[in-house]
Structure 1
Amino acid sequence: MTQGSYRQFCPVAMAAEVLGARWTIVLLRELVAGSTRFNDLRRGVPRMSPALLSQRLKDLELAGIVRRDPAPGEPGAHEYRLTEAGNELGPIVDAFGIWGQRWVASELSLQHLDAQLLMWDMRRGLNTTPMPARRSVIQFQYPDAPAAHRHWWLIVEPDMPVDLCSVDPGFDVDLFVVSDLREMTAIWMGHETVAGALTSGRMTLTGDRSLAT
């Protein structure tokens, strides 16, 4: 029996012992979203120390929720993938998000702004289906963010994963998006709309009109 155990046979209590440790649900969110590499997981949980991330991955591996596989073509590198038990947690993680979206006050959820996390989430959640069949570069500017996190580039190419850069990739920009960080976070979370932000002047879009719409 581990320290801190609920000491109950109830399945809810037993599951909570595995999933209730700090950062575990957030880490599972990243795994469910498709991140498999240690560095990608770190980008999804930037406030989690590397040592704690490594420990939580080991805990999930011991629990049979995650397995560590050799990375194809990269000797010594590994990927972390959900097992059958881990994949069954997908609807639970989604339910956490749905509940939070519905019941956690937007003002409370917007108290912890993080440009890096926002852009990483946008990178994996961007719907690229309506975008042109060519490379498209979108630059985001957050004038109120810390200097190191004010400029971001999303690069969308046909049949390729969306790429995210925090340093100018050197490509011509198709669309410039300027917004304060809070406004963009509220839009991404569904609390505000692009149309409302444009009308109020809290956001500006400059460039390719097909991307702007």
Structure 2
Amino acid sequence: MSASYGQFCPIAKASEIFATRWTPLIVREVMTGMHSFNDIHRGVPLISRAVLVARLRELEDHGVIERRPRGADGAGHEYWLTPAGEGLRVVMHALGQWGMTYTHDRIKRSDLDPALLIWGLRKRVDLSMLPDRRVVLRFEFSGVPASRTKFRIMWLILGRSGVDVCMKDPGFAVDLTLRGNIRDYVDVYLGHTKWRDAAGTALQFDGDLRIARAFPVWLRFETVSGRNAPDPHLAARPVAVQTNHSDRLPSHPRGIRARSPGSPRAQNRKRA
């Protein structure tokens, strides 16, 4: 249990529940749709499983989250916010805005975790905008901390039924390969750099032209604007942007070596 400040002040009492190590990040994960223990742990990978169990139990005891049966047979359970937990949304929103405004220069190289970035992108994908087929994105990051080099190359498998994250080659043909420094990708993710300014300069692409033009919309890269935006983890779902579904290909965006989706190379090429 968290220690008491010995004060009746509401800020003190709320801090005894919320302002403990790891707790805001756990609440963030549940608040953004991660309800299983493993999914919560993937969003907070440096916490030990034992500590995560303890924090979840404390949040349940304090009435912030509740456990619900996972299926009709009652096998396993999930974690969901209670009304008290939902009341923390305004707190998390304000905390995210403050962090976006005042902590950008505190991001160290050791904070630049590719796995956490890809997991964040997975949560951000607008499934309703995806085509009626599987889309495979391969990310190749430079500038990765020495402790995270095993995540230098990762894959996102996009589909309307869900998004998968792969740390090993899934064996599918790659539609688009994205290359760049992990810090540049984090800046785009947080909105401190606009996608259209980084595309073709700091960040390079190779692959299907139509996928290259559409995926920034799918991943909602342009819906955050750095210091003036809410935390991307907690931003409200934006209105879907309508894309052009005609057969005519748009003009080439900067930095993309395009191939026609119907070409033999596009159909047969597989990434190692």
Give the TM-score normalised by the residue count of structure 2. Answer: 0.72
Which amino acid in 1 is paired with 2:92? V
Which residue of the partner structure matches residue 198 of structure 1?
A: 199
Residue 110 of structure 1: how far off its partner (Å): 4.6
CA contact 1:110–1:182 (8 Å) conserved in 2: no
CA contact 1:6–1:13 (8 Å) conserved in 2: yes
Unaligned runs of 5+ in 1: none
Which residue of the partner structure matches residue 180 of structure 1?
A: 181
Percent identity among equivalent residues? 36
Which residue of the partner structure matches residue 212 of structure 1?
A: 212
- Equivalent residues in 2 for 1:1-213 (5 A)? 4-72=3-71, 76-104=75-103, 106-111=104-109, 112-145=111-144, 146-158=148-160, 160-200=161-201, 202-213=202-213
Residue 80 of structure 1: how far off its partner (Å): 0.9
| 2:199 aligned counterpart, secondary structure | helix
Q: Deviations over 1:55-80 (max 9, x none)?
A: 10000000011111222156542211
Residue 6 of structure 1: how far off its partner (Å): 1.4
Which amino acid in 2 is paired with 1:152? M
CA contact 2:138–2:153 (8 Å) conserved in 1: yes
The separation in 2 between residues aligned to 1:45 and 1:172, in whole angstroms, is 30
Quote the RMSD (CA, aligned, Å). Answer: 1.8
Question: Closer, same or farther in 2 for the Cα pair 1:144/1:102, shift >3 Å?
Answer: closer
The separation in 2 between residues aligned to 1:74 and 1:206, in whole angstroms, is 46
Bigger radius of gyration, 1 or 2? 2
Unaligned runs of 5+ in 2: 214-272
The separation in 2 between residues aligned to 1:108 and 1:37, in whole angstroms, is 31
Question: Closer, same or farther in 2 for the Cα pair 1:119/1:74, shift >3 Å?
Answer: farther
Greater alpha carbon shift after TM alignment, 64-73 vs 27-36: 64-73
How many residues matched? Answer: 209
CA contact 1:110–1:185 (8 Å) conserved in 2: no
Residue 197 of structure 1: how far off its partner (Å): 2.3
CA contact 1:152–1:167 (8 Å) conserved in 2: yes
Greater alpha carbon shift after TM alignment, 89-98 vs 125-134: 125-134
Q: Which has the higher contact order (CA 8 A, sep 6+)?
A: 2
Residue 133 of structure 1: how far off its partner (Å): 2.7
Residue 34 of structure 1: how far off its partner (Å): 0.8
Q: Deviations over 1:163-184 (max 9, x none)?
A: 2111211111111101111111
Residue 3 of structure 1: how far off its partner (Å): 7.0
